[in-house]
Chain A
């Protein structure tokens, strides 16, 4: 459990460190998340990744990845059964920290970019290419939309 808190502190420090600086910091944050997601998936035992269907892989993200990173599961998963999935978290831990300072809704993308990359990277290492975007309707609830790229 120790490292969950520590990850949170580390993540917040990225936001302050890589924000501004004249280049697309969202891309940097997403890219970091992507590499971490790949690394994580590559280190999973082979047996853990025997998913029969695409939906099982997404459920792995909602349960196991979310559990390991955020110590909870996502609250809701929706899909159109045509390659688009929406993962909903009503109390996203990386957003709850935003209550500290004077944060506005426009600032939320930088708190979500790393996680978008994390999802995209994990899927990529599992052989699934995707695009992942996030949106916030009201803090601290957010949705991650995963669109699977067909070959």
Chain B
């Protein structure tokens, strides 16, 4: 009997559930600590940002991805490498703006919300807002200022979860005059 194989799948499932449950415990605790959903959203974003600025180093070290030349490359790396590496999913990239400075990530399933239901009195809560902060923080460390927000959420009854990313500007290093 393949006890080993069973244990492997069981372990993977437990690992996935652990992650979802842990994220859920975080959101629950924040809802206790903060009076309104807006404050919870801000705190999730802030925590996500702090994760992002450290996560990028881990990502660059483990992925061997080189410098991205434009926002389209960045989008590809985010969806196909980063999301896969940290959440085990590959969102699709759609809805590019004509200027090429905005796109959407469509997540058909979101590991953060696998068996979660939003309680009734938290309609303004952006449950997965941590993700927006993570993306923003990570990209800031590679000199990109972006705006990231959820525009659709399966938790709120939408068919898919959609994250909109907008490139704001390149963050220039301030080098003294006379240097390259």
Contacts and interface: CB of A to CB of B under 8 A. Distances in A.
Q: What range describes how many residues of B lie at the interface?
A: 20 to 34
Interface residues of A, number: 32
B69 to A, nearest CB: 26
A24 interface: no
Interface string A81-122: 000000000000000000000000000000000000000000
B84 interface: yes
B88 A2 contact: yes
A10 interface: yes
Interface in A26-57: 28, 32-33, 35-36, 39-40, 43-45, 48
B11 A68 contact: yes
B29 interface: yes
A19 interface: no
B17 interface: yes
A3 interface: yes
Contact of A16 (B14, B28, B50, B111): B50
A68 B10 CA distance: 8
Interface of A: 2-7, 9-14, 16-18, 28, 32-33, 35-36, 39-40, 43-45, 48, 64-65, 67-69, 71
Given A7-B22, A9-B55, A39-B17, 9 more contacts: A2-B85, A7-B18, A7-B19, A10-B26, A11-B22, A36-B24, A69-B15, A69-B18, A71-B15
Interface of B: 7, 10-12, 14-19, 21-26, 28-29, 43, 47, 50-51, 54-55, 58, 84-88, 111
